[in-house]
């Protein structure tokens, strides 16, 4: 998979590709309402994409909660590209980008089925499980 690239969104077509990945993963696969998947925070968020050749195949967005705290949201990778290390590289890529912006802590709401993945990326549980968009989640955090 040497033809993968990880980058911050820098064009309307990349953002459109990110939204298409989110739609396929969250709306079509998981049955989450589009109104929950796409919200007013998209305009203020930092978005990143993973491209295979020229096609967007993965994405996530980052909201800045405070000067030194960010929240990772809407991380998604298209089904044929999962379990190939892409998610781990997204976390690594964003960790470096956020360190450069003086972010010290990253938080996220992990779907319960992928808590082990986030633990393997250095996140730790913080709080009790809760339901969001009809799916069990757990708040997690990591110091950078």
Number of domains in the chain: 1
Judge whether 121 lies within some domain: no
Judge whether 38 lies within some domain: yes
Q: What is the DSSP track for 74-94?
A: EEEE-GGGTTSSHHHHHHHHH
What 3-state DSSP class applies to 58? strand
Judge whether 9 lies within some domain: yes
What CATH number has the domain bearing residue 30?
Answer: 3.40.630.30
Q: Kindly give, in sequence order, each residue whose CB lies less than 8 Å from that of residue 54, ignoring residues fewer than 6 positions away.
A: none
Judge whether 116 lies within some domain: no
Q: Kindly give, in sequence order, each residue whose CB lies less than 8 Å from that of residue 80, ignoring residues fewer than 6 positions away.
A: none
3-state helix, strand, coil in the chain (%, to 5): 35, 40, 25
pLDDT given for residue 1 in this prediction: 60
Judge whether 93 lies within some domain: yes
pLDDT tens digits along 26-67 = 999 999 999 999 999 999 999 999 999 999 999 999 999 998
Judge whether 45 lies within some domain: yes
pLDDT tens digits along 94-135 = 999 999 999 999 999 999 999 999 999 999 999 899 999 999
Judge whether 25 lies within some domain: yes
Judge whether 102 lies within some domain: yes
pLDDT given for residue 67 in this prediction: 87
pLDDT given for residue 61 in this prediction: 97
* Residue range of the domain that includes 62: 4-107
């Amino acid at each position: 998979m040497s033809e993968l690239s990880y980058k911050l969104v820098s064009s309307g077509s990349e953002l459109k590709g990110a939204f298409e990945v989110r739609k396929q993963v969250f709306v079509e696969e998981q049955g989450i309402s589009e109104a929950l998947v796409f919200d007013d925070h998209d305009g203020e968020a930092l978005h990143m994409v993973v491209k295979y050749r020229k096609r967007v195949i993965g994405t996530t967005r980052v909201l800045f909660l405070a000067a030194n705290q960010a929240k990772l949201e809407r991380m998604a990778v298209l089904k044929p590209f999962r379990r190939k290390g892409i998610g781990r590289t997204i976390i690594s890529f964003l960790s470096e980008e956020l360190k450069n912006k003086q972010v010290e802590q990253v938080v996220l709401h992990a779907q319960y089925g992928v808590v082990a993945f986030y633990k393997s990326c250095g996140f730790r549980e913080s709080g009790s499980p809760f339901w969001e968009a009809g799916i069990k989640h757990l708040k997690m955090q990591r110091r950078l």
